[in-house]
Structure 1
Amino acid sequence: MELKLHEFDLPLKYKFGISRETRTVQKTVIAEVIQDGISGYGEAVANHKYYGFTVEKMFADLNGLQEDLKTRNLLEITPDALWSIYHPKLKANPFAQCALDMALWDLYGKLKGKKTWELWGLDASKRPVTDYTIGIDDIEVMKKKLLEFKDWPVFKIKLGTDHDMEIMQELRKVTEATLRIDANCAWTAEQTIEFSKTLKELDVEFIEQPLPAEDWEGMKKVYEKSVLPVIADESCVHEEDVDRCHGNFHGVNIKVVKCGGLTPALRMIRRARELEMKVMVGCMTESTVGISGIAQLMPLLDYVDADGPALLAKDIATGVTIDKGVVSYSDVPGNGVVLSGELN
Structure 2
Amino acid sequence: MRRLSIAEERWPVAGSFTIARGSKSEAHVVRVTITDGAHQGHGECVPYPRYGESVPQVIAALEGARVAVEAGLAREEIASAVAPHAARNALDCALWDLAAKQAGTAVWQLAELPRPVPAVTAYTLSLNTPAAMGEAAAKAAHRPLLKLKLGRAGDEERLAQVRRNAPTSRLIVDANEGWRPDNLEAMLAACAAVGVELVEQPLPADDDEALRGALRPVPVCADESAHGLDTLDALAGKYDAINIKLDKTGGLTPAIALARAARQRQLKVMIGCMLATSLAMAPAMLLAPLADVIDLDGPLLLASDRTPPIRYDGSLMYPPPPALWG
| TM-score after normalising by structure 1 | 0.89
Q: How does 1:231-246 map to 2 (within 5 A)?
A: 231-246=221-236
Q: Residues 127 and 221 (structure 1 numbering): CA distance in 2 closer, same or farther, change over 3 Å?
A: farther
Structure 1: distance between partners of 2:234 and 2:308: 37
Partner in structure 2 of residue 62 of structure 1? 62
Deviation of residue 319 (structure 1)? Answer: 4.1
Partner in structure 1 of residue 47 of structure 2? 46
Alignment partner for residue 156 of structure 1, among 147, 161, 174? 147
Question: Which letter does structure 1 place at the counterpart of 2:47?
Answer: A
Partner in structure 2 of residue 6 of structure 1? 7
Structure 1: distance between partners of 2:313 and 2:225: 31
Gap regions ≥5 residues in structure 1:
73-80, 337-344
| 1:105–1:335 Cα contact (<8 Å) kept | no
**Cα offsets for 1:268-299 (capped at 9, x unmatched):** 11110111110111101111110111111111
Deviation of residue 334 (structure 1)? Answer: 8.2
Gap regions ≥5 residues in structure 2:
none
Partner in structure 1 of residue 189 of structure 2? 197
Q: How does 1:1-344 map to 2 (within 5 A)?
A: 1-48=2-49, 50-72=50-72, 82-90=74-82, 92-124=83-115, 128-175=119-166, 176-222=168-214, 225-332=215-322, 335-336=325-326
Structure 2: distance between partners of 1:197 and 1:159: 15
Structure 2: distance between partners of 1:131 and 1:252: 16
Question: Which letter does structure 2 place at the counterpart of 1:178?
Answer: R
| 1:182–1:210 Cα contact (<8 Å) kept | yes
Deviation of residue 125 (structure 1)? Answer: 6.0
| 1:108–1:334 Cα contact (<8 Å) kept | no
Structure 2: distance between partners of 1:110 and 1:150: 40
Deviation of residue 320 (structure 1)? Answer: 2.4
Q: Residues 26 and 331 (structure 1 numbering): CA distance in 2 closer, same or farther, change over 3 Å?
A: closer
Question: Which letter does structure 2 place at the counterpart of 1:287?
Answer: T
Question: Which letter does structure 1 place at the counterpart of 2:58?
Answer: M
**Cα offsets for 1:4-27 (capped at 9, x unmatched):** 011111100121111111111121
Structure 1: distance between partners of 2:204 and 2:260: 25
| TM-score after normalising by structure 2 | 0.94
Structure 1: distance between partners of 2:210 and 2:114: 38
Q: Residues 333 and 22 (structure 1 numbering): CA distance in 2 closer, same or farther, change over 3 Å?
A: closer
Structure 2: distance between partners of 1:53 and 1:316: 24
Percent identity of paired positions between Structure 1 and Structure 2: 31
**Cα offsets for 1:97-155 (capped at 9, x unmatched):** 11110111112112222222222223236674210111111233323333333332101
Partner SS state of residue 3, structure 1? strand
| 33-42 or 166-175: bigger deviation | 33-42
Partner SS state of residue 237, structure 1? coil
Structure 1: distance between partners of 2:27 and 2:309: 19
Partner SS state of residue 269, structure 1? helix
**Cα offsets for 1:22-58 (capped at 9, x unmatched):** 111121100111123221111111322x222111111
Partner SS state of residue 24, structure 2? strand
Structure 2: distance between partners of 1:322 and 1:118: 23
Q: Residues 288 and 145 (structure 1 numbering): CA distance in 2 closer, same or farther, change over 3 Å?
A: same
Partner SS state of residue 26, structure 1? strand
Question: Which letter does structure 1 place at the counterpart of 2:134?
Answer: K
Pairs aligned (count): 324
Structure 1: distance between partners of 2:34 and 2:19: 33
Partner SS state of residue 279, structure 2? helix
Partner in structure 2 of residue 75 of structure 1? none
Q: CA RMSD in A?
A: 1.8
Partner SS state of residue 239, structure 2? coil
Structure 2: distance between partners of 1:227 and 1:67: 52
